[in-house]
Structure 1
Amino acid sequence: MKNGLISMAMGCMVMISASAYAAGEASEVQANASVDAQAAMSHGEVKKVDVAAGKLTIKHGQLDNLGMDAMTMVFKVKDPAMLSQVKPGDTIGFIADEVAGVLTVVKLEKR
């Protein structure tokens, strides 16, 4: 009986340790994903905000994920609320992607 209780206690400790280890790995993966997302952000300057059309004109650097050189161009925004966050002249970090065949700002951060 004593050996059975010791075995059960050891089994519980192993399970708790494994859970804690997995939770630690998950938070490390999330932290790395956040760093990768920041690194993937492009930088630019807002030139025009067109609320009616749901678009931003951005003078931007190279967009690696889209294979585009630096230029000024118009992007649709994924969320119209993004338009109220910025005004012409603001410096931004953003991620643009092709959504349904349209170049779209999917993430936006004012700098």
Structure 2
Amino acid sequence: MRFSYPFSRHPAAALRVALSRSWHGGWLVLPVLAAALPVQVAQAQPVQAQATGQVVRIDAAAGKIAIRHGAIGKLDLPAMTLVYHVAPALLKGIAVGDRVDFTAERTGGQYRLTELKKD
């Protein structure tokens, strides 16, 4: 598709023309034009909540801890046992069976602990 002079200085006008002629000779032109436009993806902000629970399992080497806890409304979690990612430094002094207070964070569908201490 060739654009005449006025469109070369007005990309929005060129896009309007392309959209009106998106099926050109059986080929859809829109994806090619859309790929050339700048796109900004909004990233979800992390959601944090405080809770208490009981340690069920610890894997310090992998940086994971399983905690049985009640419902955490702010994270949309029912009462359950969930495996959280955690910095190994936060696991010092924590053992299986301990009651803990923790701050959990959800980012991009993953849960991690930002704070962890014995109850």
Query: TM-score, normalised to structure 2's length?
Result: 0.55
Q: Counterpart amino acid of 1:41?
A: Q
Offset at residue 80 of structure 1 (A): 1.6
C-alpha separation in 2, matches of 1:71 and 1:101: 16
Q: Secondary structure at the match of 1:81?
A: helix
Partner of 2:14: none
Question: 1 CA distance for matches of 2:90 and 2:100?
Answer: 11
| Same amino acid, percent of matched pairs | 38
Preserved contact between residue 69 and residue 81 of structure 2 (Cα < 8 Å): yes
Q: Which amino acid aligns with 2:94?
A: V
**Structure 2 residues without counterparts, runs of 5 or longer:** 1-48
How far apart are residue 85 of structure 1 and its match?
2.7
How many aligned residue pairs are there?
Answer: 72
1:91 aligns with one of 77, 94, 99: 99
- Kindly indicate which of the two structures has a greater share of residues assigned to helix: 1
Q: Which amino acid aligns with 1:67?
A: D
Report the alpha carbon displacement of residue 101 of structure 1 after superposing the two structures with TM: 3.9
Separation in structure 2 between the aligned mates of residue 52 and residue 96 of structure 1, nearest angstrom:
20
Partner of residue 114 from structure 2, selected from 101, 106, 110: 106
- What root-mean-square deviation, in Å, do the aligned CA atoms of Structure 1 and Structure 2 show? 1.8
Q: Is the 2:61–2:88 contact (alpha carbons within 8 Å) kept by the matching residues of 1?
A: no
Give me the TM-score of the superposition, normalised by structure 1: 0.59
